[in-house]
């Protein structure tokens, strides 16, 4: 479609929801005019949001990226159902020899996608603290050194999660930053001081705040204390399982919508029935609400990003505009994406239409309809 006009209550770049008429030409937002137009191609009774930007997705719909990088294609085709229009496929700690083929598979499969856009790869591990391994296989964890780290990444890597307290981590953070890769602190047992050193070295995000990290204690505030009081945004898995709703509220009050990014950390059972699944080489048991190893350790989630938006409104009492910002402008800013996460002239025409109950009814990726619910 070369030209498309969508009109209704819209999240503006200033963080307000107001009537707008969004004019799309050749997949790009050409104009955003104040006021609604009843003659638009799509007249929205609910809300128009920028497409959701997902920074941490291990897999979904029966596919696991750590086992098969090519499966990003089938997942990308379905993610618009959840409002996601761009994402970072996430590869968790894997055998060292597996990385080149996984990265190549993702890169090749990303060339010709329908649906959501692949922004690059998030490598979560292997430079993690064994004490905070979560569901990662400790046999594959490593200690960073700059030469090895620079051989490990390629141009498709956009984000790396590592533990800043590991020997050699600060040099690795600086080297990755110099390559234009965002580095996140996670699966970490860092003290407050070690975390602050990591932030000073260039850490730009926090991976699933509170999960798999040192605890927030009043005399030893650890990595959460450093992240909560720094300007660096943090991801949170707002599924009501990974953290208590009061902790989500605490994080929201400390960080605001510009400091929190909603992530799902979903694994292959997202969008699938309960049962037995895999996350990398780990066996995962999935029930109606969670995904766990046999010992009860959480192993990713089955959350969808639209559900996370609804949950964060419920848990924190934040405004809808703030909740949407946590799924759009804030994650786009983490990756320095100028054309994503906002409805503004020059941005990609990635748009999500939500009904009054915040369920996705239509999703557009670069101006093309990528999903429409039966009631749309």
Catalytic residues: 265
Put residue 242 in one of left, alpha, beta given phi > 0 → left and psi -120 to 50 → alpha. alpha
Distances in whole angstroms, Cα of residue 225 to Cα of each of 105, 194, 201, 229: 38, 11, 17, 6
Q: Give the ranges where 124-233 is alpha helix by DSSP (H).
A: 146-152, 169-178, 192-201, 222-228
How many CB atoms are located within 10 Å of the residue 319 CB? Answer: 14
d(CA 318, CA 326): 11
Non-local CB neighbours of 89 within 8 Å, separated by 6+ positions: 57, 65, 69, 72, 75, 106, 118, 121, 122
CA distance 73 to 104: 13
DSSP string of 174-197, one letter each residue: HHHHHTT-EEEE-SB---HHHHHH
């Amino acid at each position: 479609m070369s030209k498309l006009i969508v009109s209704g209550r819209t999240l503006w770049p200033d963080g307000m929801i107001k009537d707008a008429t969004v004019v799309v030409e050749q997949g790009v937002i050409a104009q955003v005019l104040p006021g609604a137009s009843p003659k638009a191609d799509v007249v929205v009774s609910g809300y128009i949001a920028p497409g959701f930007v997902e920074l941490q997705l291990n897999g979904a719909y029966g596919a696991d990226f750590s086992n098969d990088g090519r499966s990003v294609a089938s997942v990308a085709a379905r993610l618009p159902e959840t409002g996601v229009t761009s994402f970072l496929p996430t590869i968790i700690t894997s055998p060292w020899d597996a990385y080149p083929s996984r990265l190549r598979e993702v890169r090749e499969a990303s060339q010709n996608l329908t649906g959501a856009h692949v922004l690059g790869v998030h490598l979560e591990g292997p430079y993690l603290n064994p004490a905070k391994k979560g569901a990662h296989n400790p046999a594959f964890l490593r200690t960073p050194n700059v030469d090895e780290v620079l051989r490990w990444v390629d141009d498709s890597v956009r984000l790396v999660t590592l533990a800043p307290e590991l020997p050699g981590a600060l040099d690795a953070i600086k080297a990755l930053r110099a390559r234009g890769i965002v580095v996140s602190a996670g699966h970490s047992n860092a003290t407050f001081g070690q975390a602050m050193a990591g932030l000073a070295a260039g850490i730009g995000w926090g991976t699933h705040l509170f999960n798999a990290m040192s605890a927030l204690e009043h005399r030893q505030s650890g990595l959460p204390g450093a992240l909560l009081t720094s300007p660096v945004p943090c991801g949170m898995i707002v599924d009501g399982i990974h953290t208590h709703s009061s902790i989500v509220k605490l994080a929201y009050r400390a960080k605001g919508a510009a400091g929190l990014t909603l992530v799902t950390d979903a694994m292959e059972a997202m969008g699938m029935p309960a049962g037995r699944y895999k996350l990398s080489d780990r066996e995962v048991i999935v029930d109606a609400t969670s995904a766990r190893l046999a010992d009860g350790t959480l192993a990713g989630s089955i959350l969808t990003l639209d559900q996370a938006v609804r949950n964060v409104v419920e848990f924190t009492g934040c405004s809808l505009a703030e909740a949407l910002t946590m799924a759009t402008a804030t994650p786009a800013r983490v990756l320095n994406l100028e054309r994503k996460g906002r409805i503004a002239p020059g941005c990609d025409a990635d748009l999500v239409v939500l009904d009054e109950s915040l369920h996705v009814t239509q999703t557009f990726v670069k101006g093309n309809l990528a999903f429409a619910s039966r009631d749309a």
